[in-house]
């Protein structure tokens, strides 16, 4: 049940209008009254934008895109594509939008509730959160509607918009199997990231259903880092030379893996096939061009914003998680394995 302006006003012994004036920055409220209202609001986990919605005939909505641990470079356009989708939705729907950044360290210094209150936000889209981050556990105690990108969370105020990472990984590994590969390794991201966990789950599910051996030694982690993926790919193939194909949980890591394999004389795809995940802008320009899972990141951002705005306006039938369609893009980094005589 969401806390309303009325709940705060009743507990503070003031009018709804007084609460609204405090959270809208008016200075004609006494210091003691202001402090009392802020204290009660914090105790109740009250999000002040509801005051504007209840007291204004014209509904004001502001949605924030909160990006955690921004990681961007010329080879990684994920955040930019999501941001483009969010911005386009905000423009088309004529809804106020703001972009906020945070880090794990900053999350320990200022709570998510404080950020929401400070910026008078009606709803939030959160991208890049790890399950070990302070904000992850804080979400469950909030009443604000929140759209999570590539994260699942069982709370009434949240829903998820993402690729079906388990099924997409399953389909990627199925392609390798269809090409004759049975000794398939995986380079995962990090265990704190749900996308990595789900993609590994899809990899394992596929191997099980095709009755192929699941070998823990075939799976390594590279923290979604290109350089580390290069190192891990070299170690993996040196230790397990029977591997003929790699499923890699991101294009950036796949690029690193290919470079690492090439540095030790392993040819892609002649010796080892490689399939990535994301279809980042550079993936078709790698050598060889990368076979990968194409996520529609623009549509993920657009859908998250649109669904969240409908929820805030009361135009939805409740928060529902949504999967955005994906495609397997076949290029030249995967080839059919020739059967030995």
Q: Which two tokens stand for residue 79?
A: 């955040």
pLDDT tens per residue across span 188-230: 999 999 999 999 999 999 999 999 999 999 999 999 999 999 9
Q: Provide the pairing of β-strand 322-323 with 96-102.
A: unpaired
3-state secondary structure of 153: coil
Domains in the chain: ranges and CATH: 1-46 (1.10.260.40), 165-295 (3.40.50.2300)
pTM score, whole prediction: 0.80
88-130 pLDDT tens trace: 999 999 999 999 999 888 988 888 888 888 888 889 999 988 8
Half-sphere exposure of 70 (CA within 13 A, CB side): 14
Determine the average pLDDT of the residues in 8-33.
82
How does residue 132 score in pLDDT terms, banded at 50, 70 and 90? confident
Instruction: Write the CA distances from 199 to 44, 154, 175, 328, integer angstroms.
Output: 38, 20, 15, 14
């Amino acid at each position: 049940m969401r806390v309303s302006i009325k709940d705060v006003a009743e507990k503070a012994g003031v009018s709804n209008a007084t609460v609204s004036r405090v959270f809208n920055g008016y200075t004609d409220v006494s210091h003691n009254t202001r402090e009392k209202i802020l204290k009660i609001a914090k105790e109740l986990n009250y999000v002040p934008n509801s005051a504007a919605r209840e007291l204004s005939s014209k509904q004001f909505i502001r949605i924030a895109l909160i990006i955690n641990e921004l990681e961007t470079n010329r080879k990684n356009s994920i955040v930019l594509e999501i941001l483009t989708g969010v911005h386009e939705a905000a423009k088309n729907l004529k809804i106020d939008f703001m972009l906020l950044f945070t880090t794990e360290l900053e999350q320990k210094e200022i709570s998510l509730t404080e950020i929401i209150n400070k910026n008078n936000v009606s709803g939030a889209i959160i991208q890049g959160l790890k399950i070990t981050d302070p904000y992850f556990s804080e979400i469950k105690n909030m009443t604000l509607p929140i759209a999570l990108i590539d994260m699942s969370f069982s709370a009434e105020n949240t829903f998820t918009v993402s690729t079906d990472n388990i099924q997409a990984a399953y389909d990627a590994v199925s392609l390798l199997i269809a090409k004759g590969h049975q000794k398939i390794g995986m380079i995962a991201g990090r265990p704190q990231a749900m996308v990595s966990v789900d993609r590994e789950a899809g990899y394992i599910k596929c191997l099980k259903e095709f009755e192929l051996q699941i070998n823990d030694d075939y799976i390594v982690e590279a923290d979604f880092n290109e350089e580390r993926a290069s190192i891990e790919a070299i170690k993996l193939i040196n230790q397990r030379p029977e591997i003929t194909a790699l499923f890699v949980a991101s294009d950036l890591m796949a690029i690193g893996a290919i470079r690492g394999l090439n540095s030790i004389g392993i040819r892609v795809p002649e010796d080892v096939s490689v399939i990535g995940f994301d279809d980042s802008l550079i993936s078709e320009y790698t050598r060889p061009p990368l076979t990968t899972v194409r996520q529609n990141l623009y549509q993920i951002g657009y859908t998250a914003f649109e669904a969240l705005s409908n929820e805030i306006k009361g135009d939805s039938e409740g928060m529902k998680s949504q999967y955005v369609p994906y495609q397997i893009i076949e290029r030249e980094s995967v080839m059919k394995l020739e059967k030995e005589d």
